[in-house]
Amino acid sequence: MELHDIDLISVQEARDLVSLAVKAQNVYKEYDQAAVDRVVAAVAEAVAAEAEPLAKLANEETGFGKWEDKILKNLFASKNVYEYIKNIKTVGIINENKAGGLVEVGVPVGVVAGLIPSTNPTSTTIFKSLIALKAGCAIVFSPHPGAKNAISTTVHCIRAALERSGASPDLVSVLPTPTKEATDALMRHKNIALILATGGNAMVQAAYSSGNPAIGVGPGNGPSFIERSADIPLAVKRIFDSKTFDNGTICASEQSIITEQCIRNDVMKEIQKQGGYFLPPGDSERVEKILMGPGGTMNARLVGRSAEFIAKAAGIGIPKGTRVLLGEETRVGPKYPYSKEKLMPVLGFYVEDNWERACERCIEILKAEGAGHTMSIHSRDEKVIREFGLKKPVSRLIVNSPAALAGIGATSTLVPSLTLGCGAVGGNASSDNISPLHLINIRRIAYGIKELEDIRPQGIPAPPRNTGISDDTVELLVRKIVERLKADSVL
């Protein structure tokens, strides 16, 4: 079979899956809240039971991260997300204010297109399926080709749970032949109501350019500031907990450390104590050269790999037990990889004179890449924390917590989510942690509570209620017309 035949077949498969999803969703949208909740509970339970085998499958297929951490991701996407969304009203009457004369009705958007990355393939599939089903929607997935088997297996598990619950398995489906043409056909299909795009910049931009509404997420590049009042050992622990979790594949993870000159030595000693390795200048340059691939994008061969793997790829030796590689840096921009997003256990390291300069450096890093996403601060000075919160171009400022885990809502009170919006500054439609509420429209039934007279300010006269011509005026006009006609010898 020739390549163009595969492309044509994949496009037809996409169209067929959307048609099946439309039929399934037309039935599902009539479910009441209790029925929807039973379906969601059944799916959440089923995928949670398969958290370990799905984690191992994702790790084996992609080579990214650690399967042990991927188990936690799968459980987070199923159990934690379910616990948060289970009592949310999404369909039918979701809010009623009789006194205020307003009733709100949740209306599913319809069929959703879900783009799934290779970095978090099973957990993102689980997450997007649950929020779509909770919203009364169907979802068709376009899998990253590098994680096709793991994503398809996850979908198979979900479809089986749907069937057991009495719902149509076609509420959740996946493109069997993931080509660019199939993904484009899916995103541009007239029956796709919304696109949930998680992936690289090119994919997110394609989603926004499809002609259909889209919620995309931009790249992360979060700096982490260790301020002089911080508990330094705990700050380093939290940063390393985050950066080494699944080998740094969560986009909210820290990408650089910024600290103050007055605590520089203490921070560096603690980093080394906890398994960080500051690369000597020559070795730092060797690692720097392989961090990015063609076009300045992340080197896919290194994403989600261990510090040992990266060092070996660079041809350098590192101490046994090294957890994170650090490159000391003073520059920011597309030519300086340590200042960019690195979904792997590698960090840039910056030192500034004071917190004000550190604040400016963080803004510089974010403006170069990652604006709108996430950054973190480790401090016990509430004034400094507030200043960072007021000035940083991010949607999430994480305080004294591992950024990757707090950003997704695992160690913070943020909405549990694996799709993190970056807001307008990041070129996204939302700055929220995406939830089922982003997949519904709200129909508002608004009762009148005032009359026209009630809203007219005092002192502004009302126009005359009768704007017609009076009988006296008509008689006068007729008399004048008759007189004019006589004067003109017409009568």
- Residues identified as active-site: 251
3-state helix/strand/coil string of the chain: CCHHHHHHHHHHHHHHHHHHHHHHHHHHCCCCHHHHHHHHHHHHHHHHHCHHHHHHHHHHHHCCCCHHHHHHHHHHHHHHHHHHHCCCCCCEEEEEECCCCEEEEEEECCEEEEEECCCCHHHHHHHHHHHHHHCCCEEEEEECHHHHHHHHHHHHHHHHHHHHHCCCHHHEEECCCCCHHHHHHHHHCCCEEEEEECCCHHHHHHHHCCCCCEEECCCCCEEEEECCCCCHHHHHHHHHHHHHHHHHCCCCCEEEEEEEHHHHHHHHHHHHHCCEEECCHHHHHHHHHHHECHHHCECCCCCCCCHHHHHHHHCCCCCCCCCEEEEECCCCCCCCHHHCCCCCCEEEEEEECCHHHHHHHHHHHHHHCCCEEEEEEECCCHHHHHHHHHHCCEEEEEECCCHHHHHCCCCCCCCCCCCECCCHHHCCCCCCECCHHHHEEEEEEECCCCCHHHHCCCCCCCCCCCCCCCHHHHHHHHHHHHHHHHHCCCC
Gap between the Cα atoms of 304 and 119, Å rounded: 7
How large is the C-alpha radius of gyration of the chain?
30
Structure tokens at 30: 């009539």
Structure tokens at 450: 């005032």
Task: Report whether 223 contacts 371 (CB < 8 A).
Answer: no
**Residue 100, phi then psi, degrees to nearest 5:** -90, -5
Gap between the Cα atoms of 119 and 249, Å rounded: 6
Structure tokens at 434: 């995406």
